[in-house]
Structure formats: C-alpha cells, structure tokens
Structure 1
Amino acid sequence: MRRWLRRHVDAAYERLLSREIAGAPTHVAVIQDGNRRYARRNGGDAHDGHRAGVETTERILEWCHDVGVEELTLYTFSTENFDRPDEETEPLFDLLCAKLREFADADQVHDKEVCIRAIGETEMLPDRVRDAVAYAERRTREYDRFVLNIALAYGGRSRLLEATRDVATAVENGEIDPDEIDVETIERRLYDRPVRDVDLIIRTGGDERTSNFLPWHANGNEAAVFFCTPYWPEFSKTDFLRGIRTYEHRAESWRRTRARRALALLAAMGESELPEARSIVDRFRDSLSTGDRSDLEALERADGEGVDGIDSSGRAAD
C-alpha cells in the first residue's frame, strides 16, 4: 500500500512540475555520480552499477526531448578514472563500446537526428573504445537537431591548458597577433566542433561540487547548478524536472539583476537614453518588481527634465 501511494504521489508531482516548466535550457551537462555506491548498496559490483546507470542515460535522452533541450553532455569517464583497477575499467570500456554502437544504430537516434560525439583526451582510450567512438560519430555526423556529447577521458583544466599552450605556440610562430586573441580563439582549440555554453549542470549522488566539468562553458556562462541525492541509476524524471526548475529560477534571477543594474545606471548617470542600459531595461521590464517598475516610470516621466527624483540605487527619493 505504501509503495503504491508513493508511486501515485510521485506521478502527481511529476505532472505538476511538467506544468510549471515554462522554458528549457539549451544545454544541460550531467555528472552521473553514484553508480558504484548504488551497486554496493544493492550487493553488486561496480559493473552492475554502470549497467544500471546506462538505463538512466537512455531515459534522460527522452526527457530532454520532451522539454526541448538541444544539447546534453554526460560526464562518463574522467582522466582520473584511469587510476582505477583494470577489473573495474575494462568491463566499463566494454560497456561503452557496446552502447556507443547500439546508440549509433538505434532508430530513435536517427529519427530524432541525434549527433553523437566524444569530447576529451580520447587518444588515451583503448583502441576498441576509440573505434566505437569513431563509428558513432561517423553514423550521426550529419545530424544537428540534438547533440549528445560523451565526455570520455575528460579533464576540464587539462583541456584549457592545452588550448592555452596551442595559442601561445601560435603567437610565438607569428600565426596570431596577441591583440586579436578573443573567446573564439580559445573555443576553436578546445574541441573539434563547437560546444554550446552550458545553462544547467546536474550532479547526482549527493556530492555538491562540479568536479572540473566544462569550466569554460559552464563557469563562463554562470550556469545554474542542481545537486541531488539519488544515485545516477535512481535518477528520475521528477529529479530532472526539479533541475530544470532550478535553471528557470536562476535565469529569472539573472534577468531581474540585469534589469535592476540597468535601471540604477540610468538613474546614476542622469540620462534616460543611454542606449545599452535602456535596451536592457526594456528587454527585462517584466522581471522588475512592482517597486522597481514604479521607479522606472518615475525615471521615464523625468526624461528631459532631469532625474533628481531618483537616487543612485534606482530608488525614487521620498
């Protein structure tokens, strides 16, 4: 009875969350933590946990499609994972080979035009894994409706370091003028093909850290982060939707902050036609609180007559 009730409560909560979701992030990155702990708790070995985790991976692809996510990156195997014993890594490599080939041939992948690609130091992987990666990438290379990045032999700082060294070498060889180095210069050297900025990082398993995952694309974009306690094999659609809701709250907070800063700038400068600030206020007007909107209306009324009625914080003076 208790299990039946719990299932119905969970289903009702999932429906509620689905109705509350107004807009999905473009790029979600997931740290799939807890496979081994899940296996130990259930009396199995690490490989049992990884096999169970693959089932969740298949489901999250469906969930992303349901809410409109366009890119998903899965932290599957880090450079630090090479330190684990062979009896753990070898079965995992076999599982990766099988699933990469299975995904590459799946009707679901081709019907939804999913582009599969690996990011990381893939040259460190065994030949059989590299062959499976090449097969999956070749089979799905022409698709662009949805991108699935598999982070293999991945280390965020090492990728940034390699990109920086590459830029330094190019400058030394006279191929790049230092004054011309910009964001795109680094991004072109991080991965073979572009990776969108990350909007949301999800980490399962209870740890509250992002483990050096996509630092350029996540930290630079001030991505929302959702930590949750279920191990990866137990991660549910309800958990996923809670993560999406965290992103929406983070995005709304960002919009409100930008609008308030722009409003304060207009007031502090004493000029209501500063183009950039005016544009930001107009774009995010709906994100302002009732009090902030009143201040904006007062500022607009003062246009052409000075703004002495507004203080530097954007608040109307009494």
Structure 2
Amino acid sequence: MNRWLHRRVRSAYERLLAREISGAPTHVAVIQDGNRRYAKRRGDDAPDGHRAGAETTERVLEWCQDVGVEELTLYAFSTENFDRPPEEREALFDLLCEKLREFADADRVHDNEVCIRGIGDIDRLPERVRDAVNYAESRTREYDRFVLNIALAYGGRNELLCAARSVSRDVADGELEPEAVDVETIERRLYDRPVRDVDLIIRTGGDERTSNFLPWHANGNEAAVFFCTPYWPEFSKTDFLRAVRTYEHREQSWRRTRARRAIALLGAVSEPELADARSVVSRFRDSLPRGERPDEDALESNRTTETR
C-alpha cells in the first residue's frame, strides 16, 4: 500500500513539475556520480553499480528529448578514473564498449536521429573502446536532430591545455597571428565538431562541485547547476524535471537583473540617445512574464536623480 501511494504521489508531482516548465535548456551536461556507492550500499560490486547507472542514462536520454533538450553530454570516464583498480577499470571499459555499440544500433537512436560523439582524450583509451567510439560515431554521423556527447578520458584542464598548446605552436610557426586568436580559434581546437554552450549541469550523488567538467562551455556560459543527493542509478524523472525548473528560474532571474540594469543605465544617457536605449529596455521587458517586468517609472526616477 505504501509503495502504491508513493508511486501515485511521485506521478502527481511529475505532472505538476511538467506543467510548470515552459522551456528547456538547449544543452544539458550530467556528472553521473554515485554508481559505486549505490552498489556498495546494496552489497554489490562496483561494476554492478555502473551497469545500473547505464540504465538511468538511457532513461535520461528519453527525458531530454521529451522536454526539448537538443544536446546531452555525459561524464562517463574522467582522466582521474584511470587511477581506479584495474579490475574495476576494465569492467567499466567493457560496459562502455557494450553500451556504445548498443546505442549505435538501437532503433530509437536512428528514429530520433541522435548523433553520438566521443569527446576527451580518446587516444588514451584501450583499443576496444576506441573502436566502439568510432563505430557509434560512424553509424550516427549524419544525424543532427539530437547530439549525445560521451565524455571519455576527459578532464577540463587538460582540454584547455591542449587547445592552448595548439595555438602556441601555430603562433610560433608563423601560421597564426597572436591578434587573430579569438573565441572561435579556441573552440575549433577543443573538438572536431562544435559543442553548444552548456545551459545546465546536473550532478548526482550529493557532492556540490563540477569536477573540472566542460569549463569552457559551462563556466564561460554561466550555466545553471543542479546538485541532488540520489545516486545516479536512483536519479528519477522528478529529479530531472526539478533540474530543468532550476534552470528556468535562473534564466528568469537573470533576465530581470539585465532589465533592471538597463533601466538604471538609461538614467545616465543623454536625450539623443534615449530613444535607442528605450528600445533596448523594451526588448528586455517584453521577454519577461507580465508580472515580473520592472516598472518603467523607475526610468524617469533614475534620470531625474542623475540630472539633479
């Protein structure tokens, strides 16, 4: 009875959260933490936890597509994971091979035109994992409706370091002028194909840190972050929808802040500039729900204060 009631309450809460969500982040990145702790709590071995986590990964892919997310990046194997015991590491490599090939052949992947890509220092991985990555990429290369990035042998600092070294070599060889180095120059050297800026990072397992994950695309974009306590195999659709709601609330707050700043700035401009500036504020205000729009009277108040 209690289990039935729990399912009913959870289902009702999911429906409530779904109604509250009006827009989804374009790119979600997930740190899938807690597989080993989940297995230990159940008296299982670490590979059992990783396998349970792989099932959650499949569900999250579906949830992302349901709400309109266009790109999902999963932190599957970090550079620090090379320090794990050999038997655990090899079991994880076997699971990665199995799931990459399974995903690449799945009807739902092809029906939804999911492009699978490996990002990170792939060359550090065993040959069988590299072959599985190549297989998944080649099978889905032409798709562009949804992008699934699998971060393997990945470390954010190492990623930026490699890009900086590449730029330095080209400058030293005279193939690139220092003044020509811009954002696009760095981004072209991070991955073979472009990765969207990250809008939302989700981390499971209770730790509140982003662990060197996608620093260029997440920190540079001031991504929203959602930390939650469930281990990755326990991560539910309710948790996912709460994460999306966190992103929405942050975006609404940021839009309000920008609108207020724009109104304050108008107080310092001269009359000839005022008409153009008003149009900027109007665009900010129109993007907000009616009840959240800052009062335009604040503009005149600010200007009066400035001119006294």
Say whether the fold is shared (TM-score over 0.5): yes
TM-score bracket for this pair, using the shorter chain length = over 0.9
d(CA) in 2 for partners of 1:218, 1:36: 26
The amino acid that maps onto 2:304 is: G
Q: For the structure 1 residues 250 and 277, does the alpha-carbon distance in structure 2 shift closer, same or farther, using more than 3 Å as the test?
A: farther
Q: Which residue of 2 aligns with 1:292?
A: 295
Task: Select 1:309's aligned residue among 300, 304, 307.
Answer: 304
What displacement does 1:274 show? 5.5
What displacement does 1:271 show? 4.1
Q: Which residue of 1 aligns with 2:86?
A: 86
Aligned residues: 305
Alignment map for 1:155-234 (pairs within 5 Å): 155-234=155-234
Q: For the structure 1 residues 168 and 265, does the alpha-carbon distance in structure 2 shift closer, same or farther, using more than 3 Å as the test?
A: same
Secondary structure of 1:15's counterpart equals helix
Q: For the structure 1 residues 47 and 274, does the alpha-carbon distance in structure 2 shift closer, same or farther, using more than 3 Å as the test?
A: farther
Secondary structure of 2:217's counterpart equals helix
In structure 2, stretches of 5+ residues that fail to align are none
Deviation string for 1:96-148 (max 9, x for gaps)? 00110000000000000000000000000000000000000000000000000
Q: Which residue of 1 aligns with 2:267?
A: 267
Q: For the structure 1 residues 50 and 267, does the alpha-carbon distance in structure 2 shift closer, same or farther, using more than 3 Å as the test?
A: same
Q: For the structure 1 residues 279 and 71, does the alpha-carbon distance in structure 2 shift closer, same or farther, using more than 3 Å as the test?
A: farther
What displacement does 1:311 show? 4.5
Deviation string for 1:248-304 (max 9, x for gaps)? 0111111111111111111122447368754541222143856533324x47xxxxx
User: Contact between 1:34 and 1:205, CA under 8 Å: does it hold in 2?
Assistant: yes
Q: Which residue of 1 aligns with 2:147?
A: 147
The amino acid that maps onto 1:265 is: L
The amino acid that maps onto 1:137 is: E
1:132 aligns with 2:132: yes
Secondary structure of 1:38's counterpart equals helix
What displacement does 1:174 show? 1.2
What displacement does 1:244 show? 0.2
User: Superposition RMSD on alpha carbons, in Å?
Assistant: 1.8
The amino acid that maps onto 1:229 is: T
The amino acid that maps onto 2:215 is: P
With the length of structure 2 as denominator, give the TM-score of the two structures: 0.95
Q: Which residue of 2 aligns with 1:304?
A: none
Secondary structure of 1:240's counterpart equals helix
With the length of structure 1 as denominator, give the TM-score of the two structures: 0.92
Deviation string for 1:234-254 (max 9, x for gaps)? 000000000000000111111
d(CA) in 2 for partners of 1:277, 1:55: 52
User: Contact between 1:295 and 1:310, CA under 8 Å: does it hold in 2?
Assistant: no
Q: Which residue of 1 aligns with 2:13?
A: 13
Q: For the structure 1 residues 279 and 76, does the alpha-carbon distance in structure 2 shift closer, same or farther, using more than 3 Å as the test?
A: farther
Secondary structure of 2:221's counterpart equals coil
Q: For the structure 1 residues 123 and 308, does the alpha-carbon distance in structure 2 shift closer, same or farther, using more than 3 Å as the test?
A: closer
User: Contact between 1:266 and 1:272, CA under 8 Å: does it hold in 2?
Assistant: no
d(CA) in 1 for partners of 2:176, 2:196: 24
Secondary structure of 1:198's counterpart equals coil
Q: For the structure 1 residues 225 and 279, does the alpha-carbon distance in structure 2 shift closer, same or farther, using more than 3 Å as the test?
A: farther
Secondary structure of 1:216's counterpart equals coil
In structure 1, stretches of 5+ residues that fail to align are 300-306
Task: Give the fraction of aligned pairs with identical amino acids, expressed as a percent.
Answer: 76
1:96 aligns with 2:92: no
User: Contact between 1:258 and 1:280, CA under 8 Å: does it hold in 2?
Assistant: no
d(CA) in 1 for partners of 2:137, 2:303: 62
User: Contact between 1:272 and 1:278, CA under 8 Å: does it hold in 2?
Assistant: no
The amino acid that maps onto 1:256 is: R
What displacement does 1:197 show? 0.1
Q: For the structure 1 residues 238 and 181, does the alpha-carbon distance in structure 2 shift closer, same or farther, using more than 3 Å as the test?
A: same
d(CA) in 2 for partners of 1:210, 1:246: 16
